[in-house]
Structure 1
Amino acid sequence: MNDSWLKNPQSLFDVRGQVAVVTGASGAFGSLAAKVLAGAGAKLVLAAGNKAALEETAEACRALGADVRTIARRPNTEADCESIMAVAVDAWNQLDILVVGSGLNDPCPITEMDLERFEGVMDGNVTSTWLLCKAFGKEVIPRNTGGKVVLVSSARGKLGHPAGYSAYCASKAATDGLTRALGCEWGKHGITVNAIAPTVFRSPLTAWMFEDTEKAKSVRAGFLARVPLGRLGEPEDLAGPLLFLCSRASAFHTGHTVYADGGYTAG
């Protein structure tokens, strides 16, 4: 066994020169993932439907020194997903990492939720993820270079929620199942497939929970009563697990859902 890495264990987390596709790059997790990989030296293809927000993320990544390409496209069809992968191949003839940061929620009591809304959540969180993985595999498997896939799950893939999350919880449980299935299917190709499952972390959508208002304090107190570490998540709490799962530090980890939740799902 080559143990040269012992002279610099941090080299296990090195992704410099790797080519990463990040979808949902205009959203909270996708934008964070893009910036983390940019700062770590990866080359990036960023995809999102919101072109203005996508370019904002791209500029932030370029400011961190990254070589960045963008494609204003959502992963709705096989053609969309293949086009996203093609940007990386056309630019660098290389593809190493896929981070699926795209997704959505549409809370509604099941008795009031119509089939179209349910299917919208499942399409946004499951079907698009499946299509992206398929497109990534079709490109990477024949190259025999291995690869890294990181999906975005949620604590709600394991736990229910009383506020109309029947579609969202089901979609994230499916994401966990896809993670395990592809982890088994692609192991022989040297491709690891894992998921990050956060709970509440600071983002534009959750900023109100961090505020010093009576409503925020009340909601926060009720939530934190179940979080052993006693606080809400910060972006850097997701950055470490992401870099681990995108680098060779996780070379022997596949099919896992990593809970970045302060211990929320442990209790």
Structure 2
Amino acid sequence: MNVMNNPLSMFDVKDKVALITGASGAFGMVAARILAGAGCKLVLVAGKQEALDSIANECREMGAEVTAINTRPTDEATCNGLVEQAVSAHGALDILVVASGMNKVALVNDMTPETFESVMNANVTQSWLLARAAAGQMKKQCSGKIVLVSSARGLLGHPAGYSAYCASKSAVDGIAKALGCELASAGITVNAIAPTVFRSPLTAWMFEDSEEARKVRTGFLARVPVGRLGEPEDLAGPLLFLASKASDFYTGHILYADGGYTAG
């Protein structure tokens, strides 16, 4: 079929198998809902059992086939095992979304080396281990989509104690670029989505009609050309693009979902 006659077919991920880590977190929950709504078979991974059960049941109610795994991808064996469980449950692994990670805020002289290392391990090492594990399976299939979650802070600094987080997201960008080049010949694309502030349980206070929220919003929105904070649906297009055939010619790319924040 000529895709130019049916361009929307390029975004079709129905029955694709997607592994999402950090599925109970802000981005992970959004990714789970988007891919469930698009018809994917899901393997949802999170460390918080109750929150994992909640998002898994929500996706099942949307009609998705869901495997829920209560663990954290903290080491090589666990990451390899998650890929094996995805293949065992659904026969393949087509899409990996690494939404697990953390941030710990402290000014540089107040942050311990142990804290810095914990953020780097959660955001960088786990991204690399999961991409490595997924790539092994995707090479056998000669295809696959790896989507890492970065941040506008991978490009820009922050004056309020983000030295570990900014460094970790810059490293995630580097992984996407390096593996994007390395794995392209195997039919695997590796890209990253880099959001700025979007509505989630963690940021709900910024959307409130309080004096503190208005003050923070005013300062932040002065740097956002579209003039508003992000909504979960603003991530749907970028994720579907990077998870589907539509992005076959795109790899090693950092897609900023930020309303123009990093452009100004």
Fold shared per TM-score above 0.5: yes
Residue of structure 2 equivalent to 1:130: 128
Which residue in the other structure is 1:83 paired with?
Answer: 81
Could you tell me which runs of 5 or more consecutive residues in structure 1 were left unpaired when the two chains were aligned.
none
Q: Deviations over 1:197-248 (max 9, x none)?
A: 0000000110010001000001100000010000000000011100000000
Letter in 2 for 1:97: I
1:166 to 163, 171, 196: 163
Could you give the per-residue CA deviations for residues 74-121 of structure 1, whole angstroms, max 9, x where no partner exists?
010011111111111111221110000101100100111111100110
Q: Give the superposed CA RMSD.
A: 0.8
Distance across 1 between alignment mates of 2:177 and 2:87: 27
Task: Write out aligned runs for 1:209-228 (5 A).
Answer: 209-228=206-225
Q: 1:184 aligns with which of 181, 186, 196?
A: 181
Which residue in the other structure is 2:231 paired with?
234
Distance in 2 (CA, whole Å) between partners of 1:177 and 1:79 is: 23
Q: How many residues are aligned here?
A: 264
Which amino acid is 1:158 matched to?
L
Give the drift of 1:145: 2.7
User: Of 131, 152, 155, which residue of structure 1 is paired with 2:152?
Assistant: 155
Tell me how far apart the structure 2 counterparts of residues 145 and 35 of structure 1 sit (CA, whole Å): 27
Given the alignment of the two structures, is residue 257 of structure 1 paired with residue 218 of structure 2, yes or no?
no
Question: Aligned partners of 2:125 and 2:227: how far apart in 1?
Answer: 35
Aligned partners of 1:84 and 1:72: how far apart in 2? 11
Gaps of 5+ in 2: none
Name the aligned partner's letter for residue 83 of structure 1. G
Q: Percent identity?
A: 63
Q: Report SS of the residue matched to 2:124.
A: helix
1:9 shift after superposition: 1.1
Task: Tell me which residue corresponds to 1:175.
Answer: 172
Q: Select which of 138, 142, 145 maps to 2:142.
A: 145
What amino acid is aligned across from residue 225 of structure 1 in structure 2?
A: A
List, as ranges, runs of 4+ consecutive aligned residues in structure 1 with deviation greater than 6 Å: none
Alignment of 1:29-178 (within 5 A): 29-141=27-139, 143-178=140-175
Residue 5 of structure 1 aligns with an amino acid whose one-letter code is V
TM-score by length of structure 2 reads: 0.99
- Give the deviation of 1:152 after TM superposition: 0.4
SS at match of 1:205: coil
Question: Matched residues in 2 for 1:53 and 1:86: separation?
Answer: 23
